[in-house]
């Protein structure tokens, strides 16, 4: 099953099931609210026969308008650890964050304080894992039973020069960075993909030029291992979003106003983002 969130009116959104040629609206404001509505959410979503809209007539939003929490993995691809001059981590590293804002798969994003000499931007395509039910200290063998589905993620964060990339884990940032969490275009339930989302190709391109390419089979810690470990750090809740880490290729390659960024995962779709200038360049203090 493929699920998304659409904008019905300017002030109203709704979760929707993606059928062959139309969308079936569901009685929840977004996919996150649907997942949090009870353990039988998937059965209800599959059986619902409500209002329908043609696919071409719908304006989609991010599937999770407000994730319960974002649980970010540290370096989890060989190309990323090489890029950061690090060794393979002995155990998964996760942190709990909250983005300043979220956006969908077709968005235009103003770049915060663009091109200030003391600012850097980190970004990268990631496989996102949405939690389906409460989980605390679960074994790896049971972890995949706690997953609602998978989404494409691109987390844009602006850092000061004094801050390390957020997945380097060498030191916590001095203060929160401005961030935009891009999510989309759909949530795909596990029955539609290989177990644990394994074997999926991730790509990212700036203005059509390839910047990242990897496969989820290259993850140091696969989805089951990462989910089980996250459940030892915090009690997972329905609607939590686990981001599994980005491959190398983006360090020192910030998007600029006027550019287009496409982040894609085979089987899940793509996030296509345009950038504008937010205003005059900031100054270092």
pLDDT tens per residue, range 209-223: 999 999 999 999 999
Q: Are residues 55 and 175 in the same domain?
A: no
Residue 41, in any domain of the structure = yes
CA angle 223, 90, 127 (to 5 degrees): 25
Q: Are residues 104 and 16 in the same domain?
A: no
pLDDT for 160 equals 57
Using the 3D structure, point to which of 44, 61, 78 is the last residue of a domain.
61
Residue 147, in any domain of the structure = yes
How many helices (H) and strands (E) the chain has is answered by 5, 18
pLDDT band at residue 116, thresholds of 50, 70 and 90? low
Radius of gyration of the chain (CA): 18
Domain containing 192 — which CATH number? 3.90.850.10
Which DSSP string do the residues of 147-210 spell out, in sequence order? EEEEEEEEEEEEEETTSPPTTT-SS--SSPPPEEEEEEEEEE-GGGSSGGGTT-EEEEEETTEE
- For residues 66-70, give the mean pLDDT: 90
pLDDT for 92 equals 95
Q: Are residues 54 and 83 in the same domain?
A: no
Domain count, the chain: 2
Please check whether residue 227 is in contact with residue 196, taking contact to mean a CB–CB distance below 8 angstroms: no
Helix, strand, or coil here: 107?
Answer: strand
Please check whether residue 5 is in contact with residue 31, taking contact to mean a CB–CB distance below 8 angstroms: yes
Q: Are residues 150 and 124 in the same domain?
A: yes
What is the spatial distance between Cα 55 and Cα 186, in angstroms, rounded to a whole number? Answer: 13
DSSP tag of 135: B
Q: Categorise residue 38: left if φ over 0, alpha if ψ from -120 to 50, beta otherwise.
A: left
Q: Count other Cβ atoms within 10 Å, centred on residue 248.
A: 18
Q: Are residues 180 and 232 in the same domain?
A: yes
Residue 285, in any domain of the structure = no
Q: Which two tokens stand for residue 16?
A: 């929707």
Using the 3D structure, point to which of 19, 44, 61 is the last residue of a domain.
61
Residue with the larger pLDDT of the pair 22 and 110: 22
Residue 283, in any domain of the structure = no
Q: Are residues 48 and 82 in the same domain?
A: no
Burial class for 280, CB neighbours closer than 10 Å (0-12, 13-18, 19+): exposed
Q: Are residues 51 and 107 in the same domain?
A: no
Q: Are residues 117 and 258 in the same domain?
A: yes
Q: Are residues 36 and 174 in the same domain?
A: no
Residue-range definition of the domain harbouring residue 27: 2-61
Residue 282, in any domain of the structure = no
pLDDT for 170 equals 40
Q: Which residues contact 207 (CB under 8 A, 6 or more apart)?
A: 259, 260
Whether the predicted model's global pTM rises above the 0.85 cut:
yes
């Amino acid at each position: 099953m493929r699920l998304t969130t659409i904008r019905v009116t300017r002030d109203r959104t709704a979760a929707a099931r993606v059928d062959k040629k139309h969308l079936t609206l569901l009685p929840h404001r977004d996919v996150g609210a649907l997942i949090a509505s009870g353990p039988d959410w998937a059965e209800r979503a599959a059986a619902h026969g409500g209002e329908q809209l043609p696919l071409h007539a719908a304006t989609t939003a991010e599937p999770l308008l407000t994730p319960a929490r974002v649980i970010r993995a540290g370096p989890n691809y060989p190309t990323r650890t090489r890029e950061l001059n690090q060794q393979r981590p002995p155990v998964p590293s996760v942190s709990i964050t909250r983005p300043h804002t979220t956006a969908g798969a077709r968005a235009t994003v103003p770049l915060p304080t663009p091109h200030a000499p003391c600012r850097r931007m980190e970004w990268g395509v990631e496989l996102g894992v949405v939690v389906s039910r409460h989980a605390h200290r679960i074994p790896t063998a049971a972890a995949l039973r706690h997953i609602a589905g998978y989404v494409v993620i691109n987390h844009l964060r602006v850092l000061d020069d004094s801050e390390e990339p957020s997945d380097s884990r060498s030191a916590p940032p001095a203060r929160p960075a401005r961030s935009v969490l891009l999510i989309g275009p759909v949530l795909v339930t596990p029955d539609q993909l290989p177990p644990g989302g394994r074997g999926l190709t991730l790509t990212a391109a700036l203005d059509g030029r390839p910047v990242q390419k990897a496969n989820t089979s290259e993850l140091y810690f696969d989805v089951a291992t990462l989910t089980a470990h996250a459940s030892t750090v915090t009690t997972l809740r329905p609607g939590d979003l686990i981001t599994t880490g980005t491959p190398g290729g983006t360090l020192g390659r910030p998007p600029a106003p006027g550019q287009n960024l496409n982040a894609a995962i085979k089987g899940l779709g793509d996030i296509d983002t345009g950038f504008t200038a937010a205003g005059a360049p900031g100054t270092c203090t």
